[in-house]
Amino acid sequence: MIVGQGRFFELFFDIDDALSSSVTIGEQDLLYAHRQQMVITPLRTTYLFHGVCEMMRLVFSQPDLKVRFFSSAPEERNILFVEQLLTKSLGVEWYNRIKGDVVILSGGHMKPGTDWRILEAKFGIFTNKETQRKDLLPYIEGAIEDALLIDDDWSRVEEGQVANMLNIPTHEFGSTTREEGDQLFISHYTCLERLVRERRFVESGHFISVDQTHESDRVGFCHIESGQYKECEIASGASNDEIYELVRQQGGIVEPLYTGLNQICYVVGLLFQELERARATGSALTERMIDLQFKPSSSIGMERKPIAETEKGAKLHFDGKRYLQTVNPQFEFLTAEKYRSVIEAPMTPEETDLVKAMKANLASSADVRMGETVESAALRGAS
């Protein structure tokens, strides 16, 4: 048990593909991000993920949280990113009060991994000895058991600190896809239409996961309060309306949830569930992180749990949304309907010029395919 009046928790946030992206997306997606005021320019055009600003306001409002940033990008980019992110999220006055306490760690703070085969054997985390790791021990002020790295990339975790990782499942639900010409697009917003078309994740008073097969679709329900789970079959190619009606017959109230676009809600739900437990019981913040994110495997020690398969995954999204609404009562899930409503008005001439300028300043997918990081492309472009 960890006790003491001065107890605090430390959160280390990754940046790229965790809070934001700078990789090529379409003009409609840039228009959406612009109209929602989710674009910043730390060297490259960068679009913030849905809920990130609210999450920053929430964590910085907690007196027992110390917030840090830990990105493999160069220091110059990271300093600009954090300044612009927090100014947008907190406002100038609040940011100026706390900026001296914000720790920013960059590529130079990382270290070569040790015992990398253990990560693969124990947890199915595939990496190699050349992969640079984010070792938290040199940078924490308190107990390592009360420190979390919030990151989308498991290969960055130091061996022995798997329990200190809260994974942001940015790409797990379709936000990475191959398009024309085999170009790789890592986009937060472009998966909206694809998810509507494939109907993989729909949410209501029940959690609905649609697994498509050649002959039929299997729909799984998980009631978000009771956790009770059941499955049934629906006709192949059933429309969203038909799926919604099936939910209504089960007593659910239909509310779409596209998990690949609302992963920040999941992260906030899981983070504050564990924070409240640690505060109430005096137990370590990291005590349950492995059990919550891994399951036994027949081939290796443990393997990661897909969020869509966990019975409480849907509830955590809803819990996270409620937490974010404490700092922004108008906050809701990002849905296809909201996306369409934002972009349906034609672009003004000023918006057309702005979107073209933003698109020209994104990192190209060719750079990503050739192995150049978004950050190095940004610095090369700025030089």
Segment holding 30, helix H or strand E: helix 27-35
Angle (nearest 5°) at CA 304 between 301 and 307? 155
Question: With the CA atoms of 183, 185, 191 and 193 taken in that order, what torsion angle do they form, in degrees rounded to the nearest 10?
Answer: -40
3-state secondary structure of 149: strand
3-state secondary structure of 223: strand
Residue 200 has pLDDT above 60, yes or no: no
- What percentage of residues in the chain have a pLDDT greater than 70? 63
Mean pLDDT for 304-312 is: 58
- Measured between alpha carbons, how far is 325 from 222 in angstroms, rounded to an integer? 24
pLDDT number for residue 170? 60
CATH number belonging to the domain at 9-173+329-382, selected among 3.10.620, 1.10.3470, 3.40.50, 3.30.70:
3.40.50
Contacts of residue 225, defined as CB under 8 A and 6 or more positions apart, other chains included, come to 315
Residue 58 has pLDDT above 90, yes or no: yes
- C-alpha separations of 207 from 58, 228, 258, 295 in Å: 26, 10, 11, 20
C-alpha gyration radius of the chain:
21
Pair type for strands 9-13 and 147-151:
parallel
pLDDT number for residue 331? 96
pLDDT-based confidence at residue 279 (cuts at 50, 70, 90): very high
pLDDT number for residue 118? 72
> Which pTM was predicted?
0.78
In contact, 202 and 210? CB cutoff 8 Å: yes
Of 187, 160, 162, 158, give the one whose Cα is nearest residue 173.
187
- Per-residue pLDDT tens digits for 348-375: 999 999 999 998 988 654 443 333 444 4
- Measured between alpha carbons, how far is 273 from 267 in angstroms, rounded to an integer? 10
What the block records as the tokens of 289 is 């992180």
In contact, 272 and 284? CB cutoff 8 Å: no
pLDDT number for residue 237? 60
Residue 192 has pLDDT above 80, yes or no: no
pLDDT number for residue 325? 97
- Per-residue pLDDT tens digits for 79-126: 999 999 999 999 999 999 999 999 999 999 998 876 667 777 677 676
pLDDT number for residue 259? 67
- Measured between alpha carbons, how far is 117 from 24 in angstroms, rounded to an integer? 34
Label residue 134 left, alpha or beta by phi (over 0 means left) and psi (-120 to 50 means alpha).
Answer: beta
pLDDT number for residue 26? 77
221 has which bridge partners?
208, 230
Up-side HSE of residue 264: CA atoms within 13 Å toward CB?
A: 29
**Sequence ranges of the domains in the chain:** 9-173+329-382
Residue 339 has pLDDT above 60, yes or no: yes
What the block records as the tokens of 368 is 């990503």
